[in-house]
């Protein structure tokens, strides 16, 4: 059982690393941002309500997000655990999660605040497969097109500068206190999130080795296809 949280400011690279970490741990990747964006695109009542906050870069109210998480955690695919990405984001959410499904390890993505705005406004996403690029730090091979499937890359509306600044401020006020919450519970593993994605992935590997050494070995010894 591995319940792991990716904690870090918007733009710190959580989404870029999440799929590989989830695969390695053998658990589902649960991104509340992605779930909320899908609900908004589908036009469900929850999605329409959430959209009002997301577009402005503000947090969706705790009750809404917690309802969604509880529903998702009742799915049977989480028996081996979960990788939480973008959740919890407030102390109230973290306290609620302690009651529903206490987490084992929190990977804290550490990066100087000044780098984040550039990372956010340069971010581009593939609407088809979810791959994440950055016009400055991780450009696709062909400008504006996904390397995997050639789809036209899009920019999230909340990555426009105004909303991005609000999200950073919201992180500082609402989410950063979680660092102390988990540090006090001895579950915090700091990750240096600066540099190329491959470098950050190697640092994460090391941190996860302590959590699940056997799965780490199996992962490394798997020959490339």
What gap in Å lies between CA 75 and CA 60, rounded to an integer? 22
Least distance in angstroms from the C-beta of 64 to ligand AMP: 8
| 46 touches ligand AMP (CB under 6 A) | no
Please report the sign of the dihedral spanned by the C-alpha atoms of residue 15, residue 33, residue 165, residue 174. Answer: negative
Closest CA to 123 of 112, 113, 137: 137
- Active-site residue 89, yes or no? yes
- Active-site residue 167, yes or no? yes
What gap in Å lies between CA 35 and CA 166, rounded to an integer? 21
User: 65 or 212, CB closer to ligand AMP?
Assistant: 65
**Per-residue tokens: 34:** 């992605």
| 36 touches ligand AMP (CB under 6 A) | yes
Helix ranges, 12-141 (H): 14-25, 32-42, 45-54, 62-73, 91-100, 113-121
> Looking at 31-39, 104-112, 182-190, 199-207, which segment touches ligand AMP (CB under 6 A)?
31-39
Least distance in angstroms from the C-beta of 110 to ligand AMP: 17
Exactly one of 37, 167, 187, 203 is catalytic; name it: 167
Contact positions toward ligand AMP, by CB under 6 A?
10, 32-33, 36, 53-54, 57-60, 65, 86-89, 93, 158, 167
- Catalytically annotated residues: 14, 89, 123, 156, 167
């Amino acid at each position: 059982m591995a319940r792991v949280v990716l904690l870090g400011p918007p733009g710190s690279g959580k989404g870029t690393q999440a799929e590989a970490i989830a695969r390695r741990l053998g658990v589902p990747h649960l991104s509340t941002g992605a779930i909320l964006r899908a609900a908004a695109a589908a036009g469900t009542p929850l999605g329409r309500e959430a959209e009002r906050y997301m577009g402005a870069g503000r947090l969706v109210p705790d009750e809404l997000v917690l309802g969604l998480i509880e529903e998702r955690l009742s799915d049977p695919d989480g028996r081996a655990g979960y990788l939480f990405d973008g959740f919890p984001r407030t102390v109230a959410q973290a306290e609620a999660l302690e009651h529903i499904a206490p987490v084992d390890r929190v990977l804290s993505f550490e990066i100087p605040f000044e780098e984040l705005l550039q990372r956010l406004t340069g971010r581009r996403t593939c609407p088809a497969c979810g791959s994440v690029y950055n016009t400055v730090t991780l450009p696709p091979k062909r400008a504006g097109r996904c390397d995997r499937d050639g789809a036209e890359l899009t920019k999230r509306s909340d990555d426009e500068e105004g909303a991005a600044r609000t999200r950073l401020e919201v992180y500082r006020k609402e989410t950063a206190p979680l660092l102390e919450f988990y540090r006090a519970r001895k579950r915090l593993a700091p990750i240096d999130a600066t540099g190329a994605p491959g470098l950050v992935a190697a640092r994460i590997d090391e941190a996860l080795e302590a959590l699940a050494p056997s799965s780490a070995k199996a992962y490394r010894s798997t020959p490339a296809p």
